[in-house]
Amino acid sequence: MSADNVVKIPPAHDLPTPEPESPSIPRSRQPYRFSTLCATVETPDAGHKDQHGSSSVPIYQTATFKGVGGHYDYTRSGNPTRTHLEHHIAKISSAEHAFVVSSGMAALDVITRILKPDTEVIAGDDIYGGTHRLLTYLRTHMGVTVHHVDTTEPTSVLPHLNPGKTAMVLLETPTNPLLKIVDIARISALVKEKCPDATIVVDNTMMSPYLQRPLEHGADIVYDSATKYLSGHHDLMAGAIVCNRDDLAKQMAFIINSVGNALTPFDSFLLLRGIKTLAIRMDRQQSTAMLVAQLLSRLGFVTHYPGLPNHPGKEVHERIADGYGAVLSFQTGDVALSERIVAATRLWGISVSFGCVNSLISMPCVMSHASIDPATRAARGLPEDLIRLCVGIEDPADLIDDLQHALLEAGAIMFAANDYVRIPNPISRAVEKLALGEPRRNDARPREDREWFVSAPGKVILFGEHAVVHGVTAIAASVDLRCYGLTSPRHDGKLSVHLTDIGDYRHEWDVDDLPWDAVTPIPPGEPHPDQLDPRLMEAISARALPPADEMPRQTHGSLVAFLYLYMTLAHGGHRPSFHYVTRTTLPIGAGLGSSACYSVCIATALLLLHQRISVPPLPAPTRAPGAGDPGHVHVSHQGRRAIPAVAAEEANRWAFVAEKVLHGNPSGVDNSVAVFGGALAYTRPGFGRKSGMEPIQGFKSLRFLLVDSKVPRDTKKLVAGVALKKLEDPEAINKIMDSIQSISDEARRALADPELSRTSLLSALAALINENHAHLVSLGVSHRSLETIRSTTAAEQFRLSTKLTGAGGGGCAVTLVPDDFSDSSLRALVSALQAAGFGTYSTSVGGSGLGILSPYNHKETRAPVTPPETPAESDDSVDGTSSLRQYFESIDGSTLSSWADECGRWAYV
């Protein structure tokens, strides 16, 4: 196959040839070719022959069938229209068995139900987002281990083949959306040799049976999203499964009949009609796709299409496939440029799908693959700027003209010398100077010999959980449990981190060995782009850190966020060398914003060390009365220093970047509360109300008891559950949402009302808490552990109001503690909750935000105040004098907050 000759004549298939109605002609017939097989629909057997001689298979639009002992009794179990379709798909797929279900993902669901708990699956690392989502569900809920490997290298599966455990190998070729090629035959042979019981499954949607039949190359099961090329018109959803093994067919037939997701008669009729034109459609589509790919490649875009001469998998693809397909993708080098190109097209429709007679365009990272978190996308080399093109049957000249005009309008190309030429991505001179600046050791900035001590509060959502996703206002407030971070200078070319509360994990790097070649520096004062840099994300994960599964949970993301900010903020060739240690009094993963306050701490510390923000100078230290030892100098912390607004805003912006690394698409509420403290109201855009975040002025600090249920929760699952309820019963759910909005509005007014007495405020909030929680229960997001906490706090001797906070389904509950609630009663309540296995935190809500403390300067005589018990002097020092680090890393967690408060005068937002 050559680039100039896209489609070769398909080989003859050794499949049964239908006998003619007339007596046999005394000569042999050659087997039908594929396009003829597509167009020719014969009856499966004599029992299915239409009594009226219809030339098109009728639609048997009935749920039930009369009689006993016939072919059919109930359409869920079997239907004549569906039988004709399944027979037809088996014929064109070189298969003995075929099944059709309600969608491509339903097909994969049927296949993966064969798996048992404690088995293992090997899958590619460049796969469809929906496939990734289902595999993630199996891993987290079904006890199935999933290994993602680079299946373009067949031997990559070998380390993960575990006889008796490896149950399935899931392949996709070409992959979606990077068009990588997988050698089905080679991998099948390697797997069967070591794990003969493993099932080889191939997603063949990109090729369809016309261009590729994986069963012929060793696959056990093949499935297609028949919504795509098999149907070809995007007027139905369907999935097709084929296999040659009777045992697998029997299992899948049982599952389909049991769950009832077989394709409906009418959709079966439409799909059967669509398949008849499969060959002729794809001939036109892939010939045009080649022209488009050649155009983009000639213009200098990185273009992914197996028909191009420079495609690394071209030789393998030509061995296992009969054509190159009609999907291609290309990179522009700039996310904003890609967005402009997609928006500027007219003939290419913006859609998440492919395989239609109409041409489609999309950006996978914000559409079909958005369910894969950004860190994972980056680690797997999926560029955020990638554009995917799915070529239809329109006239090639019109498609190319429309694409050229979109590239021109977006500023990607220009017309010169009677031809289109690509415009290089503009790079600002400032960025270029930074990238090519003087070596780090020649940097003229003074050496940083100070320790920087930073802290940020956690947060609670007081009202509006879950409903905020649907446009309802949420009320969030800072909580007086904090994350702390301390930097200590090293000056040895090393960078080290100690994550005390995440497995007590430590890591160290040589600064110059970090992947600086992957960094696009951002000059001081300029904002980070909307999208994370996938090249840097990938480089950090692949070259600076061990694999995520070899580190304690949550450690990998924390270190990626730290290094991403450290490297992106570096400017002027300056790369500070220091040790960073973090500790927290917050429960991690309980829905109290622990990741946000960590993000605020690392963002602030790195901005200070990169000298991109500053804080007011410290006052001169004063000797504590009676202190004879000059090594114990107390710094007065009467009064309050304020962090400049510009520094706070910068810290918030970069904390949001860190939150993106950790969570993909955060709202920005958590990091804003961690920076600015107090309370704010947040309304999500796009729902008709005024959107954004507004501080609640005059917020009065309130006493709360936070109770950690110690039950993990799946936020995405809980949010999806509410969305499903809304879809099923929008009137009832919208009524609940309106009620929660009223609660948030009333709470906001009460919290900001200076005329409202303290007693009236507490009474009103207690009632609103109870009402809000009742609505959350109706939405199905509470948990029995949370209800146990509520019943305990509401008992006769306490009579307190409690609600879940954050995601629900576990996590934390918040209990309002009135001013007159006695200490003895609070101790009794805490004892009862702890006896039930819950964690308790007595705290206040609505306090200070970001805090910064540099307790001394290298030019000053200085030392921290005496901690509760002063450890022996160690070598861990700055310029020969004792540092905070030795105390900070060793001090007991119960006294961490009080010790930090005594270290000096903090500057707060």
Length of the chain in terms of residues written: 909
Alpha helical stretches, state H, 232-312: 246-259, 265-275, 278-298
Asked about 76 being catalytic, the answer comes back as yes
384 Cβ neighbours under 8 A, 6+ residues apart: 335, 365, 374, 377, 378, 531, 532, 534
- Please give the structure tokens belonging to residue 185: 């035959």
* Selection from 324, 340, 346, 330 nearest residue 400 by Cα: 346
Asked about 401 being catalytic, the answer comes back as no
583 φ, ψ (degrees, to nearest 5): -140, 160
Asked about 223 being catalytic, the answer comes back as no
- Please give the structure tokens belonging to residue 353: 């799908």
- Which of 125, 126, 183, 203 is labelled catalytic? 203
Asked about 566 being catalytic, the answer comes back as no
- Which of 60, 128, 841, 856 is labelled catalytic? 128
H/E run at residue 608: helix 594-609
- Which of 180, 213, 228, 380 is labelled catalytic? 228
* Selection from 6, 13, 38 nearest residue 216 by Cα: 13
Alpha helical stretches, state H, 392-488: 396-410, 429-435
**826-840 burial, b for 16+ CB within 10 Å, e for fewer?**
beebbebbeeeebeb
Tell me, letter by letter, the H, E, C secondary structure of 481-505: EEEEEEEEECCCCEEEEEECCCCCE
From residue 221, how far is each of 102, 156, 203, 242 by CA, in Å? 17, 21, 9, 6
* Selection from 536, 567, 607, 572 nearest residue 439 by Cα: 572
* Selection from 844, 829, 760, 758 nearest residue 796 by Cα: 829
Query: How many H-runs (helices) and E-runs (strands) does the chain carry?
Result: 26, 30
Q: How far apart are CA 542 and CA 379, in angstroms?
A: 7
Q: Determine the angle formed by the axes of helices 396-410 and 278-298, rounding to 10 degrees.
A: 40
- Which of 33, 73, 76, 422 is labelled catalytic? 76
Is the peptide bond preceding residue 154 cis, with omega within 30 degrees of 0?
no
103 Cβ neighbours under 8 A, 6+ residues apart: 225, 227, 237, 238, 239
Q: Are 363 and 340 in contact (CB under 8 A)?
A: no
Residue with tokens 């959350």: 776
- Could you tell me which residues are beta bridge partners of residue 484? 455, 583
356 φ, ψ (degrees, to nearest 5): -95, 160
Catalytic residue ranges: 76, 128, 203, 228
